[in-house]
Amino acid sequence: MAGHTRGSGRPNQWLRNLNAKLASIPMILTAVVIFLGGTIWTVVYSFTNSKLLPRLSFVGLDQYERLWAAPRWLMSVQNLAIYGLLSLIFSLAIGFLLAALMDQKIRFENTFRTIMLYPFALSFIVTGLVWQWLLNPEYGIQSVVRSLGWTSFAFDPLYNANIVIYGILIAALWQGTGLVMCLMLAGLRGIDEDIWKAARVDGIPMWKTYVFVIIPMMRGVFITTLVIIASGIVKVYDLVVAQTSGGPGIASEVPAKYVYDYMFQAQNLGQGFAASTMMLITVAIIIVPWAYLEFGGGRKRA
Amino acid sequence: MNLRSFAAALAVTVALPFGAANATDLEVTHWWTSGGEAAAVAELAKAFDATGNHWVDGAIAGAGSTARPIMVSRLTGGDPMGATQFNHGRQAEELVEAGLMRDLTDVATKENWKDIIRPASLLDSCTIDGKIYCAPVNIHSWQWLWLSNAAFKKAGVDVPKNWDEFVAAAPALEKAGIVPLAVGGQAWQSAGAFDVLIVALAGKDTFLKVFGDKDEEVAAGPEIAKVFKAADDARRMSKGTNVQDWNQATNMVITGKAGGQIMGDWAQGEFQLAGQKAGVDYTCLPGLGVNEVIATGGDAFYFPVLKDEEKSKAQEVLASTLLNPATQVAFNLKKGSLPVRGDVDLAAANDCMKKGLDILAKGNVIQWTDQLLSADSQKQKEDLFSEFFANPSMTPEEAQKRFADIIASAD
């Protein structure tokens, strides 16, 4: 500000908008020191044999070799892949479907929207506990159906190692689709009414309008939703802890839980850091192309 | 309120803590939260309060695996409590090395811990570089098989006297709709049960070779293969347990829904709380009735380094209170564990505790895996056995191979 108003010669680029720059220093410091610094520190220490307390004695790639040889880690990665792919597909599909239905100028839209969004207001821990009870064969869905007379009915995903991850997926979808629906609905409301009129005049069937006109126009909303869902998937932890705590056996373990257990229970920081570095790489693989598309490629096109 | 009286009120609230300085508050963190455990810890608090200080209870719910990370992060984060429970052995080793724990050697020499604590290995586990860092409070042994007399009566078979008879009785129990062996879903329970099987079926020497010397050839050898066969039996017998916590599994035995449980002597507190009598309602088989050896794991209190002078004094008082004969008796009777000193009178002990005391007196003791292995190796072992017990398609041979790998990489 100061340099600007004196007006003698060209204003110094660095001093322009000085107040705003000063005000943002704490946030910049936080970002650099805590986020970036913490990340680098973690990656560096993942190459050491730190146990309960961090210490700098490097062991090369040992922690990573052990990590990728551990059956529990492999199971975690596999679970995350299944859970991630399916929850991405289903929450987008169901969320969009619900939003499209909601967009048909129905009555009591507010009420429905509130009902759909309610689960999202619950934490993953509560969601997990609710579904743990619902899926418990002795109290939940199975016992209700059996008491209605279908005595051979069996539905106990949380106690079956082969399908336990789908039991967790059900709870995650119940919790998460409401938010996706709202985002999609906002996107749909942003579409100009004239587009619909034009499509109707041309006699294009409704589903075709959605698939070929509306969805491509909602690209921005889809990408935002995708990033929100994807980052939620990578860090899934509390839902698993509340529902199964990784069981039966190690059948529903996820990477975030591996990190916590090895850092704190096994008192092996090095191993936990190696696992969290692998998670960081996963997130980077998701975020970097998106950021490039949104901020790099997008600007050139505009 | 005018300014002066406000200032006076403020001064009073500030001065109050100093006025009551001889009643020092000391926060003690522990993970004793089940019914029997809570009753036992209340005895410790009572004894400490009687010295004019105040026990601030910092119970952390969940098992030790939940509580320990919280304790460690408080210690490393610079917010130490007055005293904290750990299983003595290697869990707090690095905290001591980092200088976070207080050296208790002075208190220990003054009170002659070297002479009164029995067996001596307990104090050895508290000793690092010749200095004593913890006060052991009890001896817990894992090597017990708890059997429900009612369950066997219902199944129409005699209460077994050893592991083999128990395995033989399993089909009869199953026919009567009883789960033969209750094993809770938490990983430490299945891993612990396996360690017990090693001592009972392969013997003390093999146990020490595997966990003490970390001999991977023994771990991959025929003796341990035999134990994995037994673990396979245990896995079959535990099908249908469907509970998580150890005390829920113990409760299945108490109510006769399960035939038995391999669990440490802390389970005894639960039987007592339910009003059951040893020998009448339930039977206990130390060493699974095969090999009567007990391990001297257990709980100990560590005292973090504190700046506050008053609190440091209170720590010393607490340390000597914990080992006081009267406290030892009151606490251990409620907890179902054995006292750490041999010179106390346990006339009120029940049959099971007396069996334990006999074995202790004979000197049939070993160090437990908490003392021999690092937390890291213990965790890997837990991962293996929780998978093994939940996944019937994993063969004993496959599991043994992984077990040998863990032993080979153990430190």
Quickly list DSSP for A10-30. Answer: SPPGGGTTHHHHHHHHHHHHI
Q: Does residue A50 fall inside a structural domain?
A: no
| Across B96-101, average pLDDT | 90
pLDDT digits 0-9 by tens, B28-43: 999 998 888 888 999 9
Q: Is residue A161 domain-shared with residue A21, that is, in the same domain?
A: no
Q: Residue B385: what pLDDT?
A: 93
Residue where the block lists tokens 């003690």: B28
Q: Which of A156, A250, A258 to mutate to test the interface with B (most CBs of B within 10 A)?
A: A250
| Beta strand extents in B76-138 (DSSP E only) | 83-87, 127-128, 131-132, 134-136
∠ CA(B144), CA(B148), CA(B153), 5° rounding?
A: 140
Q: Is residue A175 domain-shared with residue A269, that is, in the same domain?
A: yes
Contacts of A245 in chain B (CB under 8 A): 185-186, 244
More confident residue, A195 or B348: A195
The torsion defined by the Cα of B165, B166, B172 and B177, in degrees rounded to 10, comes to 170
Q: Residue B19: what pLDDT?
A: 39
Contacts of A268 in chain B (CB under 8 A): 375-376, 379
Q: Cβ–Cβ contacts within 10 Å for residue A253, how many?
A: 29
User: How deeply is B265 buried, as exposed, middle or buried, from its count of CB atoms within 10 A (0-12, 13-18, 19+)?
Assistant: buried
Question: Which of B76, B94, B391 lies nearest to residue A161, judging by beta carbons?
Answer: B391
Q: Is the pLDDT of residue B85 over 90?
A: yes
Enclosing H/E stretch for B285? strand B282-286
Q: Does residue A231 fall inside a structural domain?
A: yes
CA distance B314 to B326: 19
Question: Using the beta-carbon criterion (under 8 Å), do A52 and B242 form an inter-chain contact?
Answer: no
pLDDT digits 0-9 by tens, A110-149: 888 888 888 888 888 999 989 988 988 878 888 889 888 8
Contact (CB, 8 A) for B149 and B159? yes
CA distance A84 to A65: 25
Q: Is the pLDDT of residue A14 over 80?
A: no
Question: Which of B95, B379, B389 lies nearest to residue A265, judging by beta carbons?
Answer: B379
∠ CA(A277), CA(A280), CA(A282), 5° rounding?
A: 115
- Is residue B10 classed as helix, strand or coil in its secondary structure? helix
Q: Residue B21: what pLDDT?
A: 45
pLDDT band at A302 (very low <50, low <70, confident <90, very high): very low
CA distance B236 to B180: 9
Reported ipTM = 0.76
| Across A39-55, average pLDDT | 90
Q: A190-223: string of b/e by CB count within 10 Å (b at 16+)?
A: eeeeeeeeebeeeeeeeeebbeebbbeebeebbe
Question: Using the beta-carbon criterion (under 8 Å), do A51 and B65 form an inter-chain contact?
Answer: no
Q: Residue A296: what pLDDT?
A: 67
More confident residue, B59 or B19: B59
Instruction: Count CB pairs under 8 A between chains A and B.
Output: 74
Question: Which of A53, A159, A264 lies nearest to residue B98, judging by beta carbons?
Answer: A53
Q: Give the distance from residue A22's alpha carbon to the nearest chain B alpha carbon, in angstroms.
A: 31
Q: Which of A12-16, B182-186, B223-227, B362-366 has the lowest mean pLDDT?
A: A12-16
CATH of the domain at A70: 1.10.3720.10
Q: Residue A1: what pLDDT?
A: 42
Question: Using the beta-carbon criterion (under 8 Å), do A250 and B386 form an inter-chain contact?
Answer: yes
Give the residues across from B131 on adjacent strands.
Answer: B128
Q: Is residue A229 domain-shared with residue A290, that is, in the same domain?
A: yes
Q: Cβ–Cβ contacts within 10 Å for residue A114, how many?
A: 12
pLDDT band at B8 (very low <50, low <70, confident <90, very high): low
Q: Does residue A58 fall inside a structural domain?
A: no
- Is residue A32 classed as helix, strand or coil in its secondary structure? helix
Same-fold call for B25-140+297-360 versus B144-295+366-409: yes
pLDDT band at A231 (very low <50, low <70, confident <90, very high): confident
Question: Using the beta-carbon criterion (under 8 Å), do B98 and A271 form an inter-chain contact?
Answer: no
Q: Cβ–Cβ contacts within 10 Å for residue B231, how many?
A: 24
Q: Is the pLDDT of residue A267 over 50?
A: yes
Name the residue type at position B351. D
Q: Does residue A130 fall inside a structural domain?
A: yes
Q: Is the pLDDT of residue B16 over 70?
A: no
Q: Does residue A52 fall inside a structural domain?
A: no
pLDDT, chain B, mean:
87
CA distance A108 to A55: 61
The full set of domain ranges for chain B reads 25-140+297-360, 144-295+366-409
Among chain B residues, the shortest Cα distance to A270 is held by B376
Name the residue type at position B291. N
Q: Is residue A10 domain-shared with residue A137, that is, in the same domain?
A: no
Contacts of B388 in chain A (CB under 8 A): 249
Query: Quick one: DSSP state of residue B117?
Result: B
pLDDT digits 0-9 by tens, B253-291: 999 999 999 999 888 888 988 889 888 899 999 989 888
CATH superfamily of B144-295+366-409: Periplasmic binding protein-like II (3.40.190.10)
Q: A75-109: string of b/e by CB count within 10 Å (b at 16+)?
A: bbbebbeebbebbbebbbebbbebbbebbeeeeee
- Fold category of B25-140+297-360 in CATH: D-Maltodextrin-Binding Protein; domain 2 (3.40.190)
Rg (CA), chain A: 25
pLDDT digits 0-9 by tens, A57-75: 899 899 999 999 999 999 9
Q: Is residue A159 domain-shared with residue A126, that is, in the same domain?
A: yes
Q: Residue B1: what pLDDT?
A: 43
Among chain A residues, the shortest Cα distance to B378 is held by A266
Question: Using the beta-carbon criterion (under 8 Å), do B68 and A265 form an inter-chain contact?
Answer: yes
Q: Does residue A169 fall inside a structural domain?
A: yes
Q: Cβ–Cβ contacts within 10 Å for residue B18, how many?
A: 8
Q: Residue A10: what pLDDT?
A: 65
Q: Is residue A245 domain-shared with residue A174, that is, in the same domain?
A: yes
Query: Quick one: DSSP state of residue B9?
Result: H
∠ CA(B219), CA(B261), CA(B243), 5° rounding?
A: 100
- Is residue B183 classed as helix, strand or coil in its secondary structure? coil
Query: Quick one: DSSP state of residue A159?
Result: G
CA distance B332 to B265: 11
* Cα of B154 vs its chain's centroid, Å: 32
Question: Using the beta-carbon criterion (under 8 Å), do A251 and B390 form an inter-chain contact?
Answer: yes
| Across A207-220, average pLDDT | 88
**Percent of chain B scored above 70 by pLDDT?**
95
Contact (CB, 8 A) for B187 and B390? no
- Domain span at A40: 1-45
Give the residues across from B101 on adjacent strands.
Answer: B304
Contacts of A251 in chain B (CB under 8 A): 390-391
Q: Residue B241: what pLDDT?
A: 84
Per this entry, what is the length of chain A? 302
Q: Residue B15: what pLDDT?
A: 43
Question: Using the beta-carbon criterion (under 8 Å), do A247 and B91 form an inter-chain contact?
Answer: no
- Cβ neighbors of B409 (< 8 A, separation 6 or more) are A66, B377
Please name which of B393, B159, B177 lies closest in space to residue B168, comparing C-alpha atoms: B159
Chain B residues interacting with chain A (CB cutoff of 8 angstroms): 65, 68-69, 72-73, 76, 91, 93-95, 98, 185-186, 242, 244, 374-376, 378-380, 383, 386-391, 402, 409
Q: Give the distance from residue A127's alpha carbon to the nearest chain B alpha carbon, in angstroms.
A: 19
Q: Is residue A178 domain-shared with residue A241, that is, in the same domain?
A: yes
The predicted model scores a pTM of: 0.80
Question: Helices B222-237 and B375-390 meet at what angle, rounded to 10?
Answer: 50
pLDDT, chain A, mean:
86
Q: Does residue A57 fall inside a structural domain?
A: no
pLDDT band at B13 (very low <50, low <70, confident <90, very high): very low
Q: Residue A5: what pLDDT?
A: 47
Rg (CA), chain B: 23
Q: B115-135: string of b/e by CB count within 10 Å (b at 16+)?
A: ebbbeebbbebbbbeeebbbb
pLDDT band at A108 (very low <50, low <70, confident <90, very high): confident
Considering its fold, how many domains does chain A have in total?
2
